[in-house]
Copies of this chain bind each other. A is one copy, B any other.
């Protein structure tokens, strides 16, 4: 008998029929002898509907009093979900009880609409599990010290599920979603992309932050901090496939760097087109110039991703950075109006038609020459590299977005990601 946490996304909970399928799947795990805690999202579309109503009425100012009410409203979507799933399980003959975040309680700070989990009390949940009940807990929300409802921000249910699994010391946290695992790259770009049976936590963290949207990055960080074994798998397989088969499906995010994993030098290729590049040309090369440029950007609450400063020539240097494409126009305005006059920069250039492509793999720690193999491949395809950024287990380049598919396909091939590795399948820790 194992203690398992299941998390289901909004699409999996999208209709009463889908909720019945979730209930049947959960019931299968219960009948195999496991203790189950389930964290469902709101029914798909519901959070948008609720926040749409709220935005019609809310004043423009974004103070805490307004955001408190947004959380009051948005949190109801998950509350409906947990109640409906509990009813569907009861209809299956499986005892079940639902709890909101405040009932567990899931304690958070008071940062409405983007709260962070501080602690989860497990006593109430454990008592129900011991009494033979499936416990269903609202994702996405908690309660602060003053008893106000908070939410964790979009996609927060992944984080809720991992946090619950950590608090209960669950044997595994299964994230059921609309894809069947983590791929070496996006199969829509590279048809030969393969699902990974396992990926290390650090690689997953890089993949998530670099553009793979399978898991919310905060949930991966949480899993890393508390070493929660995490599996991403599909909620669209028939609910009645054998449990032993389901338990090893998808992708396991693991903390054990075994021999097999070392063999895969590059685990996957991530990419995103969400960024834009800004270059400030001919700024004085003096201490404090980076702060002078980026201080104003930070004050405007704009997140900066890559930052490059070239070596100086004639006492002047060029400074480039990337921001989210949504912030591009605002950042360009800010740099031209404030930074250029203040620094005496010669020119400001911007480019929103860029793409970041990254190779990720813990094998890069111990294998030299991986980055240069990447650069050579791009060069052979005639793709100019505009910016480079590296960390211990990833190398990212910024290129013209029109070369994105070409770059991803070439890299996928050169690192042999379309070839299944022997031993690449890890044993699942659970079986029916």
| Residues of A participating in the B interface, judged by any CB pair closer than 8 Å | 16, 19-20, 50, 53-54, 56-59, 65-66, 68-70, 72-73, 75-76, 79-80, 82-84, 86-88, 90-91, 95-98, 100, 102-103, 147-149
Contacts and interface: CB of A to CB of B under 8 A. Distances in A.
Given A66-B90, A90-B65, A53 B84 contact: yes
A199 B354 CA distance: 74
A1 to B, nearest CB: 23
Contacts of A57: 16, 19-20, 84, 87-88, 91
A72 B65 contact: no
A154 to B, nearest CB: 18
A50 B75 CA distance: 15
A70 to B, nearest CB: 7
Contacts of A56: 16
Contact of A66 (B20, B66, B72, B87): B87
A68 B80 contact: no
Nearest to A65: B90
B73 A79 contact: yes
A227 B307 CA distance: 70
Contacts of A149: 100
B80 A73 contact: yes
Main secondary structure, interface of A, reads helix
Given A57-B91, A59-B90, A72-B86, 14 more contacts: A16-B53, A16-B57, A20-B57, A53-B84, A54-B87, A57-B84, A58-B90, A59-B87, A66-B90, A68-B97, A73-B80, A73-B83, A103-B147, A103-B148
Contact of A69 (B72, B76, B87): B87
Nearest to A76: B76
A146 B97 CA distance: 13
A11 to B, nearest CB: 17
Contact of A65 (B19, B20, B73, B95): B95
Nearest to A66: B90
A86 B103 contact: no
A19 B148 CA distance: 23
Contacts of A65: 86, 90, 95-97
Contact of A83 (B69, B87, B91): B69
A65 B96 CA distance: 8
Contact of A87 (B58, B82, B90): B58
Contacts of A90: 58-59, 65-66, 69
Residue from A53, A54, A87, A103 with most neighbouring chain B CB atoms (10 Å):
A87
B97 A80 contact: no
Contact of A76 (B53, B66, B79, B88): B79
A98 B69 contact: yes
A161 B245 CA distance: 55
Contacts of A79: 72-73, 75-76, 79
Nearest to A95: B65
A75 B72 CA distance: 12
Contacts of A68: 97
B86 A69 contact: yes
27 contacts: A16-B53, A16-B57, A20-B57, A53-B80, A54-B84, A54-B87, A59-B91, A65-B86, A65-B95, A65-B97, A66-B87, A69-B84, A69-B86, A69-B90, A69-B98, A72-B79, A72-B83, A72-B86, A72-B98, A72-B100, A73-B79, A73-B80, A73-B83, A75-B79, A76-B79, A79-B79, A100-B149
Contacts of A20: 57
A80 B76 contact: yes
Closest 5 CB pairs between A and B? Answer: A73-B83, A76-B76, A72-B83, A59-B91, A58-B87
A76 B96 CA distance: 20
A84 B50 CA distance: 9
Nearest to A85: B57
